Amino acid sequence: MRIAVLDEGVDHFRRINQTMAALEHECHPYTEGKALLQAMRRQTFDLLILGWDLPDMKGPEVVATIRRDLNSRVPILFVSDKPGEADMVEGLNAGADDFMTKPTRSGELEARVNALLRRSYPAQHESELVFGPYHFYPPSRVLKVRGVQVELKNREYELALFLFQNLGRLLSREHLHEAVWGLGIEALSRSLDTHISRLRTKLDLRPANGFLLLAIYGLGYRLETIEADALPSVVGAR
């Protein structure tokens, strides 16, 4: 998962990063609220971990701006040195999803992050995913369309699964690169576009099948449902 951490303390970010790295998440540090808000206009994240006292803004103000101006429902965890109930209420009322106090304890942070991600992205924790005619079987890395298995290369499968798991979300190019190629691996822009083009053809992503893969100029891609009855359903483990 791609996580943005907004906090002015370098040592605190290092502790959070170590905990998230153990869970195989990628952290992106920000020390000012305005810098994060600017980044979120061209990038996407799976989770935000925010501090309270920042050099330029207060944490609740950042959250309110994300919810109101950016219209983003990305899950948000406050990590604050303010233990009072009033501050917790203010943070949650601003739009945050959870609240914990410093000093952070690795076990608690891990548990809260895992709980937020399970609630926000339930499809990513199932063994079989059904989206209209598209059936994914993550344990065996198999995709079937109307009962017929589609032959996909590893990264094509990973990209397809990631898009369907994030159905309706705008995903920035950076987000897709990290999810499929990994952080620190140089993936040429054309490589992503080529994989997207292949998926459109191999999966026959068109309105007749209930889905459309859109390119959002200057930002990234979004997979959308076209028919109301094509919304995803999840089938439990078998």
CA neighbor of 164 nearest in space, from 213, 110, 113, 109: 213
Task: Using alpha carbons only, give the angle 38, 108, 32 rounded to the nearest 5 degrees.
Answer: 20
Mean pLDDT of the chain: 87
- Residue 65: pLDDT over 90: yes
Measure the N-to-C terminal CA separation of the chain; round to a whole number of Å. Answer: 25
- Alpha carbon 78 to its chain centroid, in Å, reads 17
Average pLDDT over residues 31-52: 94
pTM confidence score:
0.73
Quick: pLDDT tens for 126-160: 678 899 899 998 878 899 999 999 999 989 999 99
What single DSSP character describes residue 218?
T
- The per-residue pLDDT for 136 is 92
- Residue 22: pLDDT over 60: yes
What single DSSP character describes residue 136?
E
Dist CA 130 CA 175 (whole Å): 23
CA Rg, the chain, in Å? 19
SS3 135: strand
- Residue 234: pLDDT over 70: no
CA neighbor of 143 nearest in space, from 124, 163, 128, 155: 128
- The per-residue pLDDT for 186 is 55
- 30 pairs with which residues across the strands? 6
